Structure 1
Amino acid sequence: MLLKMYELRARHDTESDLMWGSIVLAFFFLDRSSELWGPVVSDKSTGVVRTHCVKAANVILRDNFGTQVGPEELGAMSVEVIFESHKGDRVAQGTTVRHYKSNHAHLCPVAAARLCLNIRAQWLATGRKLGPYLTSVSTTRTIKKTQVVNLIKLSAADMGLPRSDYSTHSLRIGGACALLAADYDPE
């Protein structure tokens, strides 16, 4: 379904590319929609006001030696995402997750991170004002969850699947199922 989503994107501009990169990251990092797409809301459930949306500064590319590299450099072999907090993190201790290159042209977490970070750098270089989040498209707005949902549902329908059975949760569940099918053991 991910490749169908790539194929069916309505536009091929930087905002659409940013959305695509974030979708790939959501799949590999098993992200909740609130961790990448807006509207960004504050979580007050722990008594501390915080947002769970991933900040651009917390997406780090590394080379073969573990040295941090910029998104414009081709030597990136892994990407780390620092989750300052997440819905299940009651004490806000945060966590860091790393993934390596997949060598798939369209389904690679490193390529997706580079794409998102390069678009952000391009926009900033032209004077565009952005918020702190990886998917920021202005100072107050990120890629919207509804944009991602629409693409997922369009892809499902194009594949003959019921639109109502698919949404952003499908990326998280799909990523988890892919790990299970690959016989992944985190221990």
Structure 2
Amino acid sequence: IQNLCIGSKNHGYIIRLQDISLYDEAGRICRPRTATRVGIQLTGAKNNQFEREEIRYHEKSGDATFCPVLAARWIFKGTKEFNTRPEQPALSINNNRAITSKEATNVIKRAAEARGMDFTRFMTHSVRFGGATALLNAGADKLPIKLPGRRMSSAYEGYPVLTSQETSGMSRLMC
């Protein structure tokens, strides 16, 4: 989940609490403990080849550390502690202030150092690289990986529509 805060200004394509929904096996919005899928509405950014808002769905991975559904559950738990309103950034701290890239980098560096790693090699981009490659290597279909990108390399072809069923199981392949 990406939050953009430059200085003290939150930008319109920040992920707000109201942009995150949890779903059960039947695709109904549900309570966090029964969720098997998370949907994140991406607003105000060039999220796909049509440059329009969309919802990205991620399935429960089954991994205790890398699971988008568990991450969303923790976000909801944190927002209760901070009394976050639906229109506020999902990843925020006191006074509706979004978590900055610098703050996230500091946490990542401290975690790397605590595990005996060279903390100078880690930053916010460290958690973003390699996802598509890992999915391809695990046997995921190329189409659902390519579609969320801003442009498709084979632009002469018609752009198919991505549904949540086509991405089902991709989170599990990451683990």
TM range (shorter): 0.5 to 0.7
CA shift, 1:76, in A, is: 0.5
- Opposite residue 60 of structure 1, the aligned amino acid is S
Deviates more, 1:113-122 or 1:147-156: 147-156
2:151 corresponds in structure 1 to none
- Opposite residue 68 of structure 1, the aligned amino acid is I
Map Cα deviations across residues 119-141 of structure 1 (whole Å, 9 max, x no partner): 213432xxx77861101223441
2:126 corresponds in structure 1 to 170
Whether the 8 Å contact between 1:130 and 1:139 is mirrored in structure 2 is: no
Question: Is it true that 1:65 corresponds to 2:32 in the alignment?
Answer: no
Question: Is it true that 1:53 corresponds to 2:20 in the alignment?
Answer: no
Q: How far apart in 2 are the matches of 1:129 and 1:98?
A: 22
Question: What percent of counterpart residues are identical?
Answer: 26
- Opposite residue 88 of structure 2, the aligned amino acid is P
Question: Which of 68, 87, 96 does residue 109 from structure 1 map onto?
Answer: 68
1:38 corresponds in structure 2 to 5
Map Cα deviations across residues 19-70 of structure 1 (whole Å, 9 max, x no partner): xxxxxxx4xxxxxxxx32534746xxxxxxx622111101000001100013
Give ranges in structure 2 of 5+ residues lacking alignment.
144-175
- Opposite residue 98 of structure 1, the aligned amino acid is Y
94 and 162 in structure 1: CA distance in 2 versus 1, 3 angstrom threshold: same
2:37 corresponds in structure 1 to 78
Question: Which of 145, 166, 186 does residue 101 from structure 2 map onto?
Answer: 145
Q: How far apart in 1 are the matches of 2:47 and 2:24?
A: 30
**What's the secondary structure of 2:97's corresponding residue?**
coil
1:17 corresponds in structure 2 to none
Higher strand share: 2
Q: How far apart in 2 are the matches of 1:106 and 1:154?
A: 17
Q: How far apart in 1 are the matches of 2:47 and 2:67?
A: 26
134 and 141 in structure 1: CA distance in 2 versus 1, 3 angstrom threshold: same
**What's the secondary structure of 1:69's corresponding residue?**
coil
**What's the secondary structure of 2:93's corresponding residue?**
coil
Whether the 8 Å contact between 1:135 and 1:143 is mirrored in structure 2 is: yes
Q: Aligned pair count? A: 142
Greater Rg over alpha carbons, structure:
2
TM-score normalised by structure 2 residue count: 0.66
Q: How far apart in 2 are the matches of 1:70 and 1:183?
A: 31
- Opposite residue 111 of structure 1, the aligned amino acid is L
Give ranges in structure 1 of 5+ residues lacking alignment.
1-25, 27-34, 43-49
